[in-house]
Structure 1
């Protein structure tokens, strides 16, 4: 199916859904409050329906937040309103007001609890072992993983400072940032001076990043790479670095780049005796990584669906959509992310940082 036809059908479905939700809301406002301001109501609904799309042309925190919250209403409205309509007609057109209050209370709960989950990151800790030695006398490594920062007008210095605080408290030996550093546009990153905040992320064996799909979309990938390299955070794009303790860090281009190297090509020149940690934003080729000698792969991208029940979809799409997956001696970690995309809401998930404690041994 042509791309333009998919866009037309998607937009038609979205606008039809917005009208359906607006009609139900109007009928409830009339019944509950004798609401009569129809033109004002239509204006508000029209603003909310197009707010997020407008934010791409008119940078605005208000547009992004309003549009994001409206997406939550649209998503859950598709689930709740048909059910509410059935109950309304089965009850012989009674309980309209009561049903409206219940749905309104549900959305209020989602906005409050979901906002808390989005802005209060949790630390999840794991212990694994890799049967290869390090080049130093140490045999343990503490790795901090934080993906999907999505730095933009909303996710700025305050939230990234939370990551810095967690890092200082955990004192990791290495920090990995597997993609979606910015949210399409690098302008907020520069205007807010976020390099000064990111500069505070420090670890004895380095901080490493790879690009994600949103780092590509705005066309600012190379500029982002230059900004990160100025603060000694290499943005690896189909590149390999050996750390001073003998770990091979392999960073992949994102799946967005159709010309990226395969895992087999990237691993061709990697000596098999060294521990290999791979960063790949989207967890699409987990089994391939296991087959070609990678010891640990870290990813993000999925947000664990961000808002339930989207996690069911990510679970179907990806071999490891969240958490720790072990295949033999190979380990995969996919984090739900530190930031968010779209609505500043997480429901059924929470912003997180992963800590992976690795014990290395020689067999």
Structure 2
């Protein structure tokens, strides 16, 4: 499977390089000579395969960021050229129907200016979508009796590191405080592979303050990026910050004098993780059950179990278009909310990002879930 992944990445890089070289060739056409054309093609493919070789040989620190960043540049070049082509095609149709001459040197220059504006605009918008979160509200009506409402904030996939740190944690604290959340659930990928940046930039204090502002605190599970060789240091660091870790574990809390069960699973990168049925055997399933499971891959199975609410992340909703369509195709629920079977399921696109600080077709977000007894159940009681 790993070799298939790398093969797909290599093929994509070559295809994106081809598309970007053709886009650049069109953009530079008024000044294009055979020499410049050769330089454009060689430059694009040399950068692509040079970064690829440096990544494979591990000679470049954070090579995945450089490869991802270059892939994004190529992608945005093609998107800018495509958007310009579509607009020009619409213009040609109008001119044809109006029987008006449809081309001039001014138009050619204007199209290239437009392509540059679209290219820059994509970067600005994608950066904004990565760093400026939106709050998504949802009321969850469960078929069990509970006292009052429980307000749950969900922030998955923070990937705390050099590009997403103290400021992001403080922004999260401001959001959960403003929306009066009772607790914060973080279903995995809290750190960006290790705790180096977290400690270097002294994010501990920010995370402690975040938890202190919540009546019931913070509960979390570990995701795949938290298990890439630094599980122990990440776990101890989070516990030191006051985060309650639920790694194949259950916890009973009280809300307005009534029991609420929190169930947390390891990501399936942990091959020896406990089965969900074994965890549920430790809880009173007649009381509300809330599960944190990093990946949404077991939603179909979990929809048949007495789980009232499951929160997940991992998919990032593709992070960059058109990957969101791939996420949707390979998951029962790749993003968003759906009531399935016995339970309610929320898959977040994540509060942070992976690799590079850009999102297109997805958005940095937190969910604010108001959990309460379904009106029909309340009436029957």
**Mean Cα displacement is larger for which, 77-86 or 234-243?**
77-86
The corresponding residue for 2:249 is 239
Aligned partners of 1:237 and 1:253 also within 8 Å: yes
The corresponding residue for 1:206 is 217
**Mean Cα displacement is larger for which, 30-39 or 202-211?**
30-39
Q: Deviations over 1:219-254 (max 9, x none)?
A: 112111100111221222111111133111110010
Counterparts in 2 of 1:12 and 1:273: CA distance versus 1, 3 Å: closer
Matches within 5 A, 1:340-359: 340-359=353-372
Matches within 5 A, 1:218-229: 219-229=229-239
TM-score when normalising by structure 2: 0.80
The corresponding residue for 1:105 is 117
Larger radius of gyration: 2
Aligned partners of 2:80 and 2:119 also within 8 Å: no
Q: Using the alignment, how far apart are the partners of 1:342 and 1:176 within structure 2?
A: 23
Matched, 1:250 2:260: no
Q: Using the alignment, how far apart are the partners of 1:113 and 1:308 within structure 2?
A: 13
TM-score when normalising by structure 1: 0.83
Picking from 187, 194, 200, the partner of 1:185 is 194
Q: Give the superposition deviation at 1:3.
A: 4.4
Q: Deviations over 1:43-89 (max 9, x none)?
A: 687557766975976557xx88765443223335566768989999x
Q: Give the superposition deviation at 1:349.
A: 2.0
Aligned partners of 2:247 and 2:264 also within 8 Å: yes
Q: Give the superposition deviation at 1:163.
A: 0.7
The corresponding residue for 2:300 is 287
Q: Give the superposition deviation at 1:130.
A: 2.2
Matched, 1:127 2:126: no
Q: Using the alignment, how far apart are the partners of 1:64 and 1:104 within structure 2?
A: 26
The corresponding residue for 1:261 is 274
Q: Using the alignment, how far apart are the partners of 1:230 and 1:318 within structure 2?
A: 35
Q: Give the superposition deviation at 1:298.
A: 0.3
The corresponding residue for 1:7 is 6
Aligned partners of 1:298 and 1:332 also within 8 Å: yes
The corresponding residue for 1:118 is 130
Counterparts in 2 of 1:314 and 1:260: CA distance versus 1, 3 Å: same
Q: How many pairs does the alignment contain?
A: 354
Q: Using the alignment, how far apart are the partners of 2:13 and 2:355 within structure 1?
A: 16
Give the secondary structure class of the aligned counterpart of 2:71: helix
The corresponding residue for 1:337 is 350
